[in-house]
């Protein structure tokens, strides 16, 4: 059974700090890994990763995948209060297009 683990489950930081969120997975026939940000109800798409070692960046957010060690990290630099959210990691396999989600990391950024 496919499995996604995220750590930490909860994190409190102050504005300006840099944070690293972790996602490890076990999946048969890995295809892709997704990161989502969930502020209220609807998760919003951040990144899709399919290849090892290629960093994806969007502003202060960046992510990278290690397919050998089966994990991904999401970095947020110079955090802002607007970054407070749950960050979800999801993994898909080659058998279908649904994704298995991890429990999420709840990030709280204090002013």
**Residues in touch with another protein (CB under 8 A):** 4, 32, 34, 36, 40-45, 48, 50, 88, 90, 94-104
Chain center to CA of 111: 23
The least distance separating another protein from the CB of residue 37, rounded to whole angstroms, comes to 11
**CA dist., res. 59 & res. 53, Å (int):** 19
- At residue 83, φ and ψ (nearest 5 deg) are -80, -10
The least distance separating another protein from the CB of residue 88, rounded to whole angstroms, comes to 6
**CA dist., res. 52 & res. 107, Å (int):** 25
The least distance separating another protein from the CB of residue 15, rounded to whole angstroms, comes to 25
The least distance separating another protein from the CB of residue 16, rounded to whole angstroms, comes to 28
**CA dist., res. 105 & res. 7, Å (int):** 6
Q: Are the C-beta atoms of residues 84 and 28 closer than 8 Å to each other?
A: no
Comparing CB distances to another protein, the nearer of 17 and 71 is 71
Comparing CB distances to another protein, the nearer of 20 and 95 is 95
Comparing CB distances to another protein, the nearer of 91 and 109 is 91
């Amino acid at each position: 059974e496919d499995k996604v683990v995220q750590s930490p489950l909860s994190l409190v930081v102050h504005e300006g700090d840099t944070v690293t969120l972790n996602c490890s997975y076990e999946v048969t026939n890995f295809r892709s890994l997704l990161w989502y940000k969930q502020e209220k109800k609807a998760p919003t798409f951040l990144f899709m990763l399919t290849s090892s070692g290629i960093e994806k960046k969007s502003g202060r957010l960046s992510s990278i995948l290690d397919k050998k060690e089966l994990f991904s990290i999401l970095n947020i630099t110079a955090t802002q209060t607007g970054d407070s959210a749950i960050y979800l990691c999801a993994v898909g396999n080659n058998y279908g297009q649904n994704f298995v989600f991890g429990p999420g990391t709840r990030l709280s950024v204090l002013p």
